[in-house]
Structure 1
Amino acid sequence: MVDRAAGALSLPDDWPADSDLSLTLNRMGSFDWDLVSGLMHMDRPALEVFDLRPEEYDGRPESLSSRVPADEAARLDSMVTQALKKGSDRYGAYFRIRRRDGKLRWTHTQASVRRDESGRPLRIIGIIRDATEELAQYTARVAADSDRRRQTSIVESTTAALAHARTVQDVIDVLKGSHGLERFGATSLVMGLLEAGRIHLVAEGPESSFVPGTRYTRVDEEYPMSEVIRTLAPRFIESEEDFAESYPRLWPHIKGLDISAAAYLPLIAQARPIGALGLLYSDKTGFTPDERNLLVALGSSIAQSLQRAVLYEQEHDLAEGLQQAMLPRRIPYVPGAQIAVRYRSARLGRDIGGDWYDIIALPGGRVGAVIGDVQGHDTDAAAVMGQLRIVLRAYAAEGHTPATVMARASVFLHELDTERFATCMYAEADLTTGVVQLVRAGHIDPLIRDTDGDCRRLPVEGGLPLGLSAEFGRLEYPVSTVELDPGQTLVLCTDGLVEQPGIDLDDGMQLLTSLVRSGPRDLQLLADRLCEVVDERGGEDDVALLLLRRRGAFTSQSGGRLQQHVGQNDPEALRSARHMIRAAVRAWGARERSDEIELAADEMITNALVHTDGGAIVTLRALAGPERRLRVEVEDRSSALPRRREAGESGVSGRGLMLVDRLTEAWGVESRGTGKCVWCEFIVPDRQGRR
Structure 2
Amino acid sequence: MVDRGASALSLPDDWPAHPEPILALNRMGTFDWDLEAGLFHMDARAHEIFDLRPGEFDGDPDSLGVRVPPSEGLRLDALVAQALKDGSENYGAYFRIRRRDGTLRWTHTQGYIRRDGTGGRPSRIVGIVRDATDELRELSEHDGRAPALPDDPRRRQGNVVQVTTAALAHARTVEDVIDVLKDTQGVTHLGATSLVMGLVEAGRIRLIAEGPEGSFVPGTRVTRMDEPYPMSEVVRTLTPRFIESPEEFAEGYPILWPHITELDITAAAYLPLIVQARPIGAMGLLYSDRRGFTHEERDILVALGSSIAQSLQRAMFYEQEKDIAEGLQQAMLPRTIPSVPGADVAVRYRAAAIGGAKGRDIGGDWYDLIPLPGGRVGAVIGDVQGHDTHAAAVMGQLRIVLRAYAAEGHNPATVMARASVFLHELDTDRFATCLYAEADLATGVVQVVRAGHIDPLLRASDGSCRRVPVEGGLPLGLSAEFGRLEYPVGTIELDPGHTLLLCTDGLVEQPGTDLDDGMQILTGLIAAGPHDVRALADLLIDEADERGGDDDVALLVLRRRGLDAPQSGGRLQQHVAPGDPEALAEARHLIRAAVRAWGAGDRADEVELVADELMTNALMHTEGAAIVTLRVLGGAERRLRVEVEDTSSALPRRREAGTSGVSGRGLMLVDLLADVWGVEARGGGKCVWCEFGVPLRR
Into which bin does the TM-score normalised by the smaller protein fall?
0.7 to 0.9
Answer whether contact 2:671 2:677 (CA < 8 A) is retained: yes
Work out which of the residue numbers 485, 499, 504 in structure 2 matches 1:489.
Answer: 499
Please say which of residues 352-361 and 673-682 is displaced more in the overlay: 673-682
Work out which of the residue numbers 197, 219, 242 in structure 2 matches 1:191.
Answer: 197
Q: Compute the TM-score of the two structures, normalised by the length of structure 2.
A: 0.73
Deviations 1:161-201 (A, max 9, x none): 11211111111111111444355343442211111111111
Matches within 5 A, 1:55-74: none
Deviations 1:256-305 (A, max 9, x none): 33444332211111110111122233433322221211111111111111
Larger radius of gyration: 1
Answer whether contact 1:431 1:554 (CA < 8 A) is retained: no
Aligned-partner Cα distance in 2 for 1:600–1:555 = 31
Aligned-partner Cα distance in 1 for 2:519–2:198 = 45
- Root-mean-square deviation (CA, aligned residues, Å) is 3.1
Aligned-partner Cα distance in 2 for 1:661–1:555 = 36
What SS does the corresponding residue of 1:330 show, helix, strand or coil?
coil
Q: Compute the TM-score of the two structures, normalised by the length of structure 1.
A: 0.73
Answer whether contact 2:150 2:156 (CA < 8 A) is retained: no
Answer whether contact 1:266 1:273 (CA < 8 A) is retained: yes
Query: Which position in structure 2 is the counterpart of 1:373?
Result: 383
Deviations 1:530-561 (A, max 9, x none): 22222222222222111111122267776322
2:227 is aligned with what amino acid? Answer: E
Aligned-partner Cα distance in 2 for 1:666–1:600 = 12
Query: Which position in structure 2 is the counterpart of 1:505?
Result: 515
Matches within 5 A, 1:220-619: 220-348=226-354, 350-553=360-563, 559-566=569-576, 573-607=583-617, 616-619=626-629
Q: Structure 1 residues 146, 651: closer, same or farther in 2, change over 3 A?
A: farther
Query: Which position in structure 2 is the counterpart of 1:106?
Result: none
Q: Structure 1 residues 443, 178: closer, same or farther in 2, change over 3 A?
A: same
Aligned-partner Cα distance in 1 for 2:214–2:500 = 48
Deviations 1:212-252 (A, max 9, x none): 33222212122222121111111223334433333333333
Aligned-partner Cα distance in 1 for 2:406–2:365 = 19
What SS does the corresponding residue of 1:453 show, helix, strand or coil?
coil
What SS does the corresponding residue of 1:513 show, helix, strand or coil?
helix
Aligned-partner Cα distance in 2 for 1:163–1:647 = 87
Please say which of residues 547-556 and 588-597 is displaced more in the overlay: 547-556
Aligned-partner Cα distance in 2 for 1:572–1:244 = 90
Q: Structure 1 residues 149, 612: closer, same or farther in 2, change over 3 A?
A: farther
Answer whether contact 1:422 1:465 (CA < 8 A) is retained: yes
1:297 is aligned with what amino acid? Answer: A
Q: Structure 1 residues 146, 669: closer, same or farther in 2, change over 3 A?
A: farther
Residue 683 of structure 1 pairs with residue 693 of structure 2: yes
Aligned-partner Cα distance in 1 for 2:350–2:256 = 42
Answer whether contact 1:176 1:188 (CA < 8 A) is retained: no
What SS does the corresponding residue of 1:284 show, helix, strand or coil?
coil
Number of paired residues? 556
Answer whether contact 2:342 2:567 (CA < 8 A) is retained: no
2:243 is aligned with what amino acid? Answer: I
Answer whether contact 2:341 2:567 (CA < 8 A) is retained: no
Matches within 5 A, 1:198-213: 198-213=204-219
1:526 is aligned with what amino acid? Answer: L
Query: Which position in structure 1 is the counterpart of 2:9?
Result: none
2:187 is aligned with what amino acid? Answer: L
Matches within 5 A, 1:601-640: 601-607=611-617, 616-635=626-645
Residue 219 of structure 1 pairs with residue 225 of structure 2: yes
Deviations 1:342-391 (A, max 9, x none): 11221116332222212222232222222122222222222222222222
What SS does the corresponding residue of 2:361 show, helix, strand or coil?
coil
- State, as a whole percentage, how many aligned pairs show the same letter: 77
Q: Structure 1 residues 494, 546: closer, same or farther in 2, change over 3 A?
A: same
Answer whether contact 1:176 1:189 (CA < 8 A) is retained: no
Aligned-partner Cα distance in 1 for 2:649–2:194 = 83
Work out which of the residue numbers 666, 677, 681 in structure 2 matches 1:667.
Answer: 677
Answer whether contact 1:167 1:309 (CA < 8 A) is retained: yes
